[in-house]
Amino acid sequence: MKVTIDREGCTSCGACWEECPEMFEESPDDGLSQIVEEHQIGGDPARGEVPKDLEDCVRNAADGCPVEVITVEE
């Protein structure tokens, strides 16, 4: 499973990194949500490869994003 954050639409509400801190974090550069470095695809802070054991929390984070900028691809 892959996950994408449309970072330009992120409002930095914090819900995703509270729900799933193993996958999401607040960028120290712009304050927006990003994928933690370990799980980034090609060094892209907006795209991540989701390990099996994090799929549920990533889905919950996507469902909980108030501006719906987190997308999962099965």
**Where do contacts with ligand SF4 occur on this chain (CB under 6 A)?**
5, 10-16, 33, 65-67, 69-70
CB of 58 to ligand SF4, least distance (A): 11
CB of 10 to ligand SF4, least distance (A): 3
Strand extents, DSSP E, 1-74: 2-5, 24-26, 33-35, 40-41, 44-49, 70-73
The tokens 């090609």 sit on which residue? 42
CB of 43 to ligand SF4, least distance (A): 19
Closer by beta carbon to ligand SF4, 8 or else 53:
8
> Could you give the CA distance from residue 12 to residue 1 in angstroms, rounded to a whole number?
24
Closer by beta carbon to ligand SF4, 58 or else 70:
70
